Each structure stands twice: as structure tokens, then as C-alpha cells.
Structure 1
């Protein structure tokens, strides 16, 4: 499980964190995102590649969309994917294995970290590790963004 994108400052009012579970696709064996986990203040959202959605541990049924029960959060599930948006303008569109779009407003520039890189940083700063160091080793970079609370691998 990898940290894809997050506001680096965990106490920021606009904090969020997106994690992805990667699995080999049954059809062709290619690695793809099999589940997306999004954490906002007061909400934990899980979305599977099949389009199943859980909010704070409760599975949503098709009749519950659009889901707006949590203030500042909207979840829409349609045939072409699951769309999650919060009031700060952070948006996710997950279309199953390998198709994820994360959009953040310009106000998040240079506040982001995760394996997707630092929004607005120079190319040299894109491989920023959680410890604040920059690396050119892509394997080290990705290992650094393993989500520690979900990872059973030893470094």
C-alpha cells in the first residue's frame, strides 16, 4: 500500500491523504490500483476497482449516491467510475485498475507530498522522500512511500 498524495502538514485544515493498493490484473498480469483509500478529516473512504464504496467502515449501496451525508464531502458512483470531492476542491476519479486522476487546486502548490510527487516543485524536487531528502533511486523512493500502518514488509 502506497501513499499517493497527501498534504504534508497533517494539522493543516485542508489535510487529506490518498493511499493505493496495487495488485496484478487477472486478465493480463499487469500491476494496477485495486483499491483506493482516501482520508479526510472525519472521513475514511475506500473504493475498490469494481466500484464498491465504503465510508467510515459502512458500505454504500447504489441507491445512496450521490453521497453527501458528511458535510463538505461528495461521492458519486457511476458506470464510468467513482468521483470523490471535498469542499477544498480536492478531487479523485477512480475508474478501476490503473485509472486514477487526482486533482488539487493551485492553493495546494508546494504543500503536497507522496509518491505522485510534489505539486509545483521543480523536477529535481519531485522525488522527495518522507524524510525530506531527495533521491534519484526510484525503488528507494517508492519504498519510502509505503504506508507504514498497512505495510508488512521490512525495509
Structure 2
């Protein structure tokens, strides 16, 4: 009897965890061993393994799905680009593209014709629709939508991105918990909290709660989806916002171009100008990065 009961939780969890295409369930999976980014550059990663989905043999994770190794992308200045993606320099004078065929990076100069004014609303260009990308690395380094940067020094819950400037778009808010300092610095991405209309999602230790109730994955309801991917958990808000919590604590927020100039919090306002990223909740500018980070500490979490 005891032996039978001891194996029951494992059987229930294994059956409930449905893995995406080209991946399979592992009770002890390392997110670093099958990452496309790890092919091109040395990545900071945890030594721990996690229960979850792992790419099948001959496939690696591009951050969203398990793809054949030959379809892995490129790394440019520490930023991973999927095959077919392009990235612009901060001043929008150069465009670098990761080839879909050879996974090689090619760069070219871009110029405006006479009488035109060039502006850059999004550095990364995927399938023709501009998107914003904000990231907190596993080393607690923050990179905003517009290319600004900062470093977390204190633990706490911080607001990363929220809608501040358009009532016609459904309101959302993304917050992250930074853990207590350890010998190596802050523990990044202990949990994420996502608010979207009447839905409140908590992701912590590979467990998911929606409006305070634990749920099995995949979860799909009211334009909100939560699913397990090879190297973590993905939360999708009506295809407008995606939040990716990696197993190593890295947090990525991806937003659609329609949100450009309408956001606030630590990831910035997504207007193409990193010089005005350090804005307080009051809308005032702040020159001190530490004060800026402190101002966006969540008061209710």
C-alpha cells in the first residue's frame, strides 16, 4: 500500500504535463544543455536540474520551441536572434539579420533617403511586425525595450511592464520577484506575477496559480494562455504580451508594436529612445538608476 501511494503523485504529474512538439518529459532536465544560444556563446546557467520538458535528440530550444539544430539562430552582442530575425543598432544605422538557411549573421548599413526622417521603434524585427523585448538576465542585469540597462542590487517585487497610456487596449501588468542576496548576488526570477483584465497569474517553482487557484498546464481561458516550454514557462496575454520565465531565473517580456509609447515601469516606455527610460511612476524623469529601481517596487505584492 505504501509503495503504491508513494508513486501516485509522480504518476499524476507526469500525465498532466503535456510537452510541446519535438520535446519530451524528463524528471531532471537541464535548461542549458539544449539551448540554441549556448551553441554560439557562453551562457550563465544554474547547475540544478528541473522537472519539465526537454528537446528531443537532434533538436534545441530557440527560446519558444524545440527546433532542429540546423535551424538555431545567431547571437549578436549578447542577444539571441532566431533564424530570420533582424536587429537594428541603437541609432538605427545598421541592420543585422540571422539567415534562415545558414544561421549566419549578416549586417548592412541602413539610410534614409533625402527628405525622410528615420526613427527606430523596435530594435528586433521578426516577421515584419515590430516587437519590443525586455529582459532580466540570470545575473540580475536589466535591459529595457529601448536598450537601456541597469542592475538589481536589492531583493523585492518589482513592476517590469504595465500599460499606462491607452484605455482602448486591455490593461496588463507584469511584476517579478527578486530573491534575497546570496554569495553570487540577487536570486533572479523567483516568481512572476501577471495581471490581465480580471485574471491574476502567479508562476513560482514551476507551479502555476490563476486567481489564487492552482492549475494544470496548458491553461487557456479568456485570452490568457500559460504553457510549459522546453526551458521554462510562457504566459501569453491575447498575443499582445508574452512573459517567459526561464528555469535559471531569467525573465523576458515581449510586446507587440501596438504598445509602443504606451508602457511604463522598469522595462521603459518602448518609444525607441533609451534616454527617457528612467521615468518614475509619477511620470517624472530620474537620473539615478538605484532610485528608479526602488520607485518601481510593487507596493501590493
TM bucket, shorter chain = 0.7 to 0.9
Q: Distance in 1 between matches of 2:173 and 2:246?
A: 19
Is 1:128 the counterpart of 2:279 in the alignment?
A: yes
The alpha-carbon distance between structure 1 residues 25 and 76, as it changes in their structure 2 partners (threshold 3 A), is farther
**What are the ranges of 5 or more consecutive residues in structure 1 without an aligned counterpart?**
151-155
Give the structure, 1 or 2, with the largest relative contact order (CA under 8 Å, sep 6 or more): 1
2:238 corresponds to which residue? 87
2:162 corresponds to which residue? 6
Q: Distance in 1 between matches of 2:181 and 2:231?
A: 18
- Please identify the structure whose Cα radius of gyration is greater: 2
Q: Which secondary structure state, in structure 1, belongs to the residue aligned with residue 206 of structure 2?
A: coil
Structure-1-length-normalised TM-score: 0.84
Q: Which secondary structure state, in structure 2, belongs to the residue aligned with residue 104 of structure 1?
A: strand
Residues 1-155 of structure 1 aligned to structure 2 (within 5 Å) = 1-9=157-165, 11-24=167-180, 28-48=184-204, 50-60=205-215, 64-68=216-220, 70-150=221-301
Are the aligned partners of 1:46 and 1:54 in contact in 2 as well (CA < 8 Å)? Answer: yes
Q: What displacement does 1:30 show? A: 3.7
Q: What is the aligned-residue RMSD (CA, Å)? A: 2.0
**What are the ranges of 5 or more consecutive residues in structure 2 without an aligned counterpart?**
1-156
Q: What displacement does 1:31 show? A: 3.1
Are the aligned partners of 2:162 and 2:171 in contact in 1 as well (CA < 8 Å)? Answer: yes
Are the aligned partners of 1:14 and 1:88 in contact in 2 as well (CA < 8 Å)? Answer: no
Structure-2-length-normalised TM-score: 0.45
